[in-house]
Structure 1
Amino acid sequence: MFKTLLKQLSPAGERGRLSILIFHRVLPERDPIFPGEVDAAAFDAICGWMKAWCNVLPLDVAVQKLKERSLPERAAAITFDDGYADNRTVALPILARHGLTSTFFIATDFLDGGRMWNDTVIESVRLCQSPQLDLTQLAKRDGSGHLGSHTIDTPEAKRQAIEHIIGQIKYLPVLERHLLTEKIADCAAVKPPVDLMMTSQQVRELRDAGMQIGAHTRSHPILAKLEADAAYAEIAQSQRFLESVLGERVGLFAYPNGKPGTDYIPESVRIVRELGFDAAVSTTKGAADAGTDLFQIPRFTPWDRSRLKFGARFADNLWRA
């Protein structure tokens, strides 16, 4: 049923459309704090559906065919953002088993023992042994208020606390955000893990297994809030670092967070073009067609765990596009 429907919504050739799925982590098993996050069982099911319904292409091939207006029917690509270690240890074997390829966009500062700021928050709350986490002493530099006190005695309470804290600090300057998250870990009396992200060797292993590697800035900043020189450095240095790790050109880029106007701006797009990338992806819902800006390609992932609901939302995204 879905294969026929997707053929109608995503025909071959001139009217072709490209659906790109976006993931971040594939957990070994379901997380009680974030039960909706993709785990190995869910990702295995998704890969099976994609294999049955779609023509899954490497992203660079898909972009070239989109440009040439020669996409196959039911064209799709799979992507991952950030560079989590479970991309290599959990996702790669599943992709290989289904004969699928993916592009992995890497925030390079976090390789080899680094940690993303949001994971410092998540793991601080997760590992905190107290039922209450008091952050009232932590005020933001702009004077807009403290981070509050949170009851964290259940998985649901931990999730709510994490979402509130992340929402409070997400758009702060990179350094201030980093310093605040380290203070949160101190308040929680926690030393967050240092093995959540990939090593450089694991990035090479992904490439050697037939996967593609793309750039995702150095420190995952909100590009829209950076001066042009700082944004240029973030993008260019991540590209150069990955090229040195892989010994080959890196031509694909993903904007951190990825919402146009909020997370990146036309200046960000100009920089990506200037640096010679072939294409860049956002997190705008929809599917790409012949008229899509190749430096602002949309991505979307249905969050449903059932085959019927996942397929229906996948088709709906194409239809709305």
Structure 2
Amino acid sequence: MNLLRTAFRLVSPPGRSARLSILIFHRVLAQPDPLQPHEPDARRFSELLGWLKDWFTILPLDAAIPRLIDGSLPARAAAITFDDGYADNHDVALPLLKAHGLPATFFIATGHLDGGAMWNDRIIESVRTLSADAIRLDDVPGLPATAPVQLPARSLTERRAAIDFLLQQLKYLEPESRLEAVAAIAARNRTQCPGDLMMSSGQVKAMAHAGMGIGAHTATHPILARLDERSARTEVCTSKSFLETLLGEPVRYFAYPNGKPDLDYTARDAAIVRDAGFTAAFSTAWGTTRPGDDLFQLPRFTAWDTQRRAFGTRMLRNLAFTTPQRARS
């Protein structure tokens, strides 16, 4: 037994003292993408799965959550999750998970299936397909008055910086205003977004048939804290009912879009999710979960390091983190 695995077991023994590590991913690219260096490609993801399989006991959420509730988790318990519903989850991640014999749960933003795209991906693809040396921002609604009228985009470094700037500026706009701004940027710069970034309904069904868990992630991926209660409830319930109709089975788990407590979702939204009939819900706060914790604010974390020892050490630090942030009542 290697040193890291021993340390994981010491921090997370079996039973009532166990801690559940829940990892979060979004995409697994077939090849590295210079514009998105933080997203793992197939080779790196397979390497990560090998590390995780060596260190942790990986459980599907359908097994991990009941065992969390009754205090029977094994030592070094962990679960793997994905957010949003990208097509590469089906095309790239699924074969690798099957090759390693590992389960995962995929949280789907149902309104983007079958040809849709997330607003942030529309920005990334606008920058990727840009043919000019600068991104025009003149008359783009929603941007602050101090925003530049154009962003340089001659080099890879400048294009990454442009993406970061635009995502930061648009992230917390009202959903309608954000979509209007994204459309204006694409129109000003004559760029296009591919129609195959997200899964099809058939691919979601194939994931479930392959033994993967499917959870809800709202319909259109809004920041729930920015919505009125009725709109938030509609987003939560619409995604649940769509998936249950598609799969012909209950959908028990929900992930908050963006997922930062109090900033992206509130205690009100956690209550909406509970009232909708979900069993548990997941944030993106650091930390791990112990028996007795709030089932509707379960933290998730994935180390970003590329070296085995550094990745494992950061996962260990997170496992020892005992006070994950939660939305306040």
| TM-score interval (norm. to shorter) | over 0.9
Q: Which residue of 1 aligns with 2:227?
A: 226
Which 4+ runs in 1 deviate beyond 2 A? Answer: 143-148
Counterpart secondary structure, 1:20: strand
2:24·2:80 contact (CA, 8 Å) conserved in 1?
A: yes
Among candidates 124, 127, 134, match of residue 125 of structure 1: 127
2:283·2:299 contact (CA, 8 Å) conserved in 1?
A: yes
1:40·1:90 contact (CA, 8 Å) conserved in 2?
A: yes
CA distance in 2, matches of 1:17, 1:140: 43
Give CA-to-partner distance per residue, 1:143-202, whole Å, 9 cap, x none: 655464111111121111001001101011111111111111112211210100000000
Larger mean CA deviation between 197-206 and 54-63 belongs to: 54-63
Q: Which residue of 1 aligns with 2:199?
A: 198
> Does the alignment pair 1:305 with 2:299?
no
**Cα root mean square deviation, aligned:** 1.1
1:138·1:147 contact (CA, 8 Å) conserved in 2?
A: no
Report the AA paired with residue 140 of structure 1. G
1:139·1:145 contact (CA, 8 Å) conserved in 2?
A: no
- Cα offset, 1:140, TM superposition: 1.4
1:57·1:77 contact (CA, 8 Å) conserved in 2?
A: yes
Give CA-to-partner distance per residue, 1:24-62, whole Å, 9 cap, x none: 000111111222321111110110011111100001211
Among candidates 86, 111, 114, match of residue 113 of structure 2: 111
Report the AA paired with residue 217 of structure 1. T
Q: Which residue of 2 aligns with 1:291?
A: 292
Q: Which runs of 5+ in 1 are unaligned?
A: none
Q: Which residue of 1 aligns with 2:60?
A: 58
Counterpart secondary structure, 2:82: strand
> Does the alignment pair 1:39 with 2:63?
no
CA distance in 2, matches of 1:208, 1:319: 35
2:117·2:195 contact (CA, 8 Å) conserved in 1?
A: yes
CA distance in 1, matches of 2:172, 2:307: 34
CA distance in 1, matches of 2:97, 2:174: 36
Change (3 A) 1:235 1:147: farther
Q: Which runs of 5+ in 2 are unaligned?
A: 323-329
Report the AA paired with residue 73 of structure 2. L
CA distance in 1, matches of 2:65, 2:127: 40
Alignment length (residue pairs): 320
Q: Which residue of 2 aligns with 1:48?
A: 50
The alignment's TM-score, normalised by the length of structure 1, stands at 0.97
The alignment's TM-score, normalised by the length of structure 2, stands at 0.95
CA distance in 2, matches of 1:118, 1:88: 20
1:60·1:252 contact (CA, 8 Å) conserved in 2?
A: no
CA distance in 1, matches of 2:146, 2:154: 24
Q: Which residue of 1 aligns with 2:164?
A: 163
CA distance in 1, matches of 2:149, 2:65: 46
CA distance in 2, matches of 1:234, 1:75: 31
Superposed counterparts of 1:259-274, under 5 Å: 259-274=260-275
CA distance in 2, matches of 1:318, 1:278: 23
CA distance in 1, matches of 2:25, 2:76: 19
CA distance in 1, matches of 2:71, 2:116: 41
CA distance in 2, matches of 1:159, 1:17: 37
Q: Which residue of 2 aligns with 1:247?
A: 248
Among candidates 82, 85, 101, match of residue 84 of structure 2: 82
